[in-house]
Structure 1
Amino acid sequence: MTEREIVEFRLNDVLRMRKPHACGGYEWTVYRLGADIGIVCDCCRRRLLLPRTDLEKRLKTFISRGQENLE
Protein backbone atom coordinates (compact mmCIF):
# COMPACT_ATOMS: atom_id res chain seq x y z
CA MET A 1 0.00 0.00 0.00
CA THR A 2 1.13 3.52 -0.66
CA GLU A 3 1.07 6.07 2.13
CA ARG A 4 -1.07 9.11 1.45
CA GLU A 5 -0.75 12.43 3.17
CA ILE A 6 -3.68 13.13 5.50
CA VAL A 7 -5.49 16.37 4.73
CA GLU A 8 -6.22 18.58 7.74
CA PHE A 9 -9.77 19.93 7.68
CA ARG A 10 -10.98 22.74 9.95
CA LEU A 11 -14.43 24.09 10.75
CA ASN A 12 -15.54 26.78 8.26
CA ASP A 13 -13.01 25.76 5.59
CA VAL A 14 -14.33 26.62 2.14
CA LEU A 15 -13.52 23.84 -0.33
CA ARG A 16 -13.60 23.61 -4.12
CA MET A 17 -14.55 20.16 -5.36
CA ARG A 18 -13.39 18.47 -8.57
CA LYS A 19 -16.94 17.99 -9.91
CA PRO A 20 -19.96 20.28 -9.51
CA HIS A 21 -22.95 19.51 -7.30
CA ALA A 22 -26.27 18.89 -9.08
CA CYS A 23 -27.16 22.56 -8.49
CA GLY A 24 -24.00 23.64 -10.35
CA GLY A 25 -22.01 24.81 -7.31
CA TYR A 26 -18.38 23.83 -6.77
CA GLU A 27 -17.83 25.41 -3.34
CA TRP A 28 -18.64 23.79 0.01
CA THR A 29 -18.14 24.81 3.65
CA VAL A 30 -17.11 22.38 6.41
CA TYR A 31 -19.61 22.42 9.32
CA ARG A 32 -18.75 19.15 11.14
CA LEU A 33 -15.54 17.24 11.82
CA GLY A 34 -14.97 13.62 12.80
CA ALA A 35 -14.63 10.31 10.99
CA ASP A 36 -17.29 11.70 8.66
CA ILE A 37 -16.92 15.31 7.53
CA GLY A 38 -20.05 17.43 7.24
CA ILE A 39 -20.12 19.88 4.34
CA VAL A 40 -22.79 22.28 3.11
CA CYS A 41 -23.12 23.48 -0.49
CA ASP A 42 -22.60 27.24 -0.70
CA CYS A 43 -25.01 27.44 -3.65
CA CYS A 44 -28.12 25.49 -2.55
CA ARG A 45 -27.32 24.90 1.20
CA ARG A 46 -27.63 21.09 0.83
CA ARG A 47 -25.82 19.22 3.63
CA LEU A 48 -23.76 16.05 3.13
CA LEU A 49 -21.81 13.74 5.41
CA LEU A 50 -18.87 12.12 3.65
CA PRO A 51 -16.23 9.75 4.95
CA ARG A 52 -12.92 11.60 5.30
CA THR A 53 -11.24 9.43 2.62
CA ASP A 54 -13.98 10.18 0.05
CA LEU A 55 -13.78 13.92 0.74
CA GLU A 56 -9.99 13.87 0.34
CA LYS A 57 -10.41 12.24 -3.10
CA ARG A 58 -13.08 14.73 -4.22
CA LEU A 59 -11.25 17.84 -2.97
CA LYS A 60 -9.59 20.05 -5.57
CA THR A 61 -8.36 22.95 -3.41
CA PHE A 62 -9.07 25.12 -0.38
CA ILE A 63 -10.67 28.49 -1.18
CA SER A 64 -10.23 29.73 2.40
CA ARG A 65 -9.24 28.15 5.69
CA GLY A 66 -11.16 28.25 8.96
CA GLN A 67 -9.50 29.25 12.21
CA GLU A 68 -6.95 26.83 13.59
CA ASN A 69 -8.09 25.16 16.81
CA LEU A 70 -5.91 26.50 19.64
CA GLU A 71 -6.30 23.99 22.46
Structure 2
Amino acid sequence: MDVQVGDRLQMKKNHPCGSREFLVLRAGMDFKLRCTGCGREVMVSRRKIEKNIKKIIREGE
Protein backbone atom coordinates (compact mmCIF):
# COMPACT_ATOMS: atom_id res chain seq x y z
CA MET A 1 0.00 0.00 0.00
CA ASP A 2 1.37 3.42 -0.98
CA VAL A 3 1.10 5.68 2.08
CA GLN A 4 3.26 8.82 2.11
CA VAL A 5 4.09 11.53 4.64
CA GLY A 6 1.41 14.23 4.53
CA ASP A 7 -1.45 11.88 3.58
CA ARG A 8 -4.63 11.77 5.64
CA LEU A 9 -5.91 8.30 6.52
CA GLN A 10 -9.56 7.57 7.16
CA MET A 11 -9.67 4.51 9.42
CA LYS A 12 -12.33 1.83 9.90
CA LYS A 13 -12.53 2.45 13.66
CA ASN A 14 -12.79 5.70 15.62
CA HIS A 15 -10.07 7.10 17.86
CA PRO A 16 -11.33 7.44 21.46
CA CYS A 17 -11.91 11.18 20.82
CA GLY A 18 -14.39 10.30 18.04
CA SER A 19 -12.31 11.27 14.99
CA ARG A 20 -11.54 8.76 12.21
CA GLU A 21 -8.88 10.80 10.37
CA PHE A 22 -5.14 10.73 11.02
CA LEU A 23 -2.27 12.68 9.44
CA VAL A 24 0.85 10.67 8.51
CA LEU A 25 3.96 12.25 10.08
CA ARG A 26 6.39 9.38 9.42
CA ALA A 27 6.23 6.26 7.25
CA GLY A 28 8.51 3.23 7.37
CA MET A 29 8.29 -0.09 9.20
CA ASP A 30 5.94 1.74 11.52
CA PHE A 31 3.87 4.90 11.16
CA LYS A 32 3.74 8.01 13.30
CA LEU A 33 0.23 9.43 13.08
CA ARG A 34 -1.47 12.53 14.48
CA CYS A 35 -5.18 12.42 15.23
CA THR A 36 -6.91 15.33 13.46
CA GLY A 37 -9.51 15.51 16.25
CA CYS A 38 -7.47 15.79 19.44
CA GLY A 39 -3.87 16.15 18.17
CA ARG A 40 -2.51 13.07 19.94
CA GLU A 41 0.47 11.40 18.22
CA VAL A 42 0.81 7.61 18.11
CA MET A 43 3.32 5.12 16.70
CA VAL A 44 1.70 2.05 15.11
CA SER A 45 3.14 -0.87 13.14
CA ARG A 46 2.69 -0.93 9.35
CA ARG A 47 0.77 -4.22 9.45
CA LYS A 48 -1.83 -2.89 11.87
CA ILE A 49 -2.32 0.39 9.97
CA GLU A 50 -2.63 -1.21 6.52
CA LYS A 51 -5.29 -3.57 7.86
CA ASN A 52 -7.38 -0.72 9.31
CA ILE A 53 -7.19 1.91 6.50
CA LYS A 54 -10.54 2.66 4.89
CA LYS A 55 -9.42 5.48 2.58
CA ILE A 56 -6.27 7.49 1.75
CA ILE A 57 -6.86 11.23 1.22
CA ARG A 58 -4.09 13.08 -0.65
CA GLU A 59 -3.76 16.87 -0.66
CA GLY A 60 -3.40 17.10 -4.46
CA GLU A 61 -6.64 15.22 -5.20
TM-score, normalization by structure 1? 0.78
**Structure 2 residue identity aligned to 1:57:** K
Over 4 Å off, 4+ runs = none
Distance across 1 between alignment mates of 2:50 and 2:56: 11
Return 5+ residue gaps in structure 1 as ranges. Answer: 1-6, 67-71
Confirm or deny: 8 A CA contact 1:10 1:65 kept in the other structure: no
- Calculate percent identity across the aligned residue pairs: 35
Give 1 or 2: higher strand fraction: 2
Q: Select the structure of larger CA radius of gyration.
A: 1
CA RMSD of aligned residues (A): 1.3
> What is the TM-score normalised by the length of structure 2?
0.90
Deviations 1:12-62 (A, max 9, x none): 000100011000001000001111111100010111111101000110001
Equivalent residues, number:
60
| Structure 2: tracts of 5 or more residues without a match | none
